[in-house]
Homo-oligomer: A and B are copies of this chain.
Amino acid sequence: MSLASLKPARAPFTFAHRTTCVKTSFIREILKVTENPAVISFAGGLPSPDLFPVDEVAEAAQAVLTGQGRAALQYSTTEGFLPLREWIAQRYASRFGLGVSPEEILVTTGSQQGLDLIAKVFIDPGSPVLVEQPGYLGALQAFSVYEPEFAPLAAGEEGPDPAAIEAALEPGRVRLFYTVPNFQNPSGACFSLAARKAAARASAEAGTALVEDDPYGELRYAGTELPPLKSFNPSTLMLGSFSKVVAPGLRLGWICAPREVIRKLVVMKQAADLHTDIFAQRLLHRYLSTTDFTAHLARLRAVYGKRAAAMVDGFRATMPAGTHCNRPEGGMFLWATLPKGVSSRALFEKAAAREVAFVPGTAFHFDGGGDSAMRLNFTNTPEDRIAEGLRRLASAVNEELA
C-alpha cells in the first residue's frame, strides 16, 4: 500500500503554544541568496574550512577506533568523556588561573545545546531574561522556546555601560542575564574591565544566573586579553565551543557551572539526547592531546587577523560618507552602520543583485530595531574577495543614497 493512497488524519493536530513563539528568521532568505557561488557572502558565521585540521582529525579518528573502538561506539555517560572534561578544566586554569573541577564541566552537543539546557533549567514562561541588543540570534531562538520576557541592554564598543548593567540587575528581578563579552556576535564588541566587574557583581547580588557565552575568546587578533566574568563571580555559567577553534561539524561544546547547576543540566541533557557523540568526544580529545593546539590557534589568529584588518581598512576606504564600522579586536564579525535613511533590509536586495550578502541588523533585535546596521563576517573570505565584496556593497549603498 502506498502512503500517498492513504487518507490523511481527519482532525488536524493541535500544536503547542510555543511553536508560535519561535520566529523563523530572515536568515533562511539570506541562505537562498548565498547558495549562488558567485555571491560573495559576508552573511554567514562560518569559520574557514581551509583551516580545519582534517589530516589530524583523520589520524585521531583512526587512533580512537583502533585503540578504543568499541567504547567509542557504545552508549556513554551524560556528563561527557572525562579526559575531555579534564582538558577543558585544565585550559581554564592555564588561560585564567581559574580553579575549575571536571565535575563542573558538562559536554554539550555544540554550545547551542548548552543554551537550550540552560533555558530548560532557568526559564519559566514570563521569566525576565536580560540580553544585549543587538544580541546573538541563536540564543534568542533557544530561549524563546521557553517563553521568557526579554529585556534589552544596549551595548557599545566596550560592552554595556556599567551603570546601566547595575540598573538592569536590580535584586530579585532578572532570572537570567545572557551575554557574549568577547567579540560579540553580531557587534564584535568586547566588554571593558569595568563592564565585566559590574556584570559579575550585580548578577551575584541579584541572584541572577549570569550566562557568559565565550565562543570567540581564543580568537583575539589585537589588544590584551581580559579576565572572564566568571573570575569575578564563581556562580557564572560559562559556555564554550570547539566550533570556531577546531571544527563546527562535530557539534562539541560545553557548559562550566557550579555543581548544583550541572546536576540539573545533566537531568535535562539525559532527556534531550542521552549524551553527546562519544566517538566525536574521544577523537577531539585525542586531537587536542597529541597535536600542537597552540600552534593551530596561532595559525587561525594570523589568517583571521589579516582578514579582519582587510575588512575594516577596506570598508573605511571604500564605503560612502556616513557609513561607519568598528574595529573588533577578535572574533568573526564587523558591525557597520549606514548613512541616515538607508535601510539595511532594503540594501540587502540591492546588494544581492550585485552578488554580495550580509545580515541586516534587524535579525539581532527582538523588537524590530537595528535597520540602520548590518553584520559582516570576515573569517570565511580571502582578502582579495573581501575587497571585491566591499566594492559591490559600496555600489549598492550609493544606489540607495542616489
Contact = CB atoms under 8 A, between A and B. Distances in A.
Interface of A: 1-4, 6-19, 22, 24, 45-47, 49-50, 52, 54, 57-58, 61-62, 65-66, 69-76, 97-100, 109-110, 112-113, 115-116, 120-124, 127, 138, 141-142, 144-146, 171-172, 175, 203-207, 209, 230-235, 243, 247-251, 258, 261, 264, 267-268, 270-280
Contact of A74 (B46, B112, B144, B203): B46
What number of copies of this chain does the assembly contain? Answer: 2
A99 B274 contact: no
A207 to B, nearest CB: 3
Nearest to A100: B3
Contacts of A234: 3, 6-8
A103 to B, nearest CB: 13
B66 A52 contact: no
Contact of A9 (B2, B97, B207): B207
B249 A73 contact: yes
B70 A54 contact: yes
B99 A2 contact: yes
Given A3-B234, A19-B120, A112-B273, 6 more contacts: A1-B231, A19-B264, A72-B249, A109-B109, A112-B272, A145-B271
Nearest to A139: B271
A261 B15 CA distance: 9
Contacts of A76: 249
20 contacts: A2-B98, A6-B231, A8-B204, A9-B233, A9-B235, A10-B205, A11-B204, A16-B146, A19-B120, A49-B71, A49-B73, A52-B73, A57-B69, A58-B65, A61-B61, A62-B62, A120-B145, A249-B277, A251-B276, A273-B273
A205 B128 CA distance: 41
Contact of A22 (B49, B97, B258, B271): B271
B277 A251 contact: yes
A98 to B, nearest CB: 5
Contacts of A57: 65, 69, 73
A277 B264 contact: no
A277 B65 CA distance: 17
Contacts of A277: 109, 249-251, 277, 280
A301 to B, nearest CB: 19
Contact of A15 (B2, B121, B230): B121
B235 A273 contact: no
Given A16-B127, A73-B250, A274 B11 contact: no
Q: Which of A230, A248, A258, A279 has the most CB of B within 10 A?
A: A279
Contacts of A69: 52, 54, 57-58
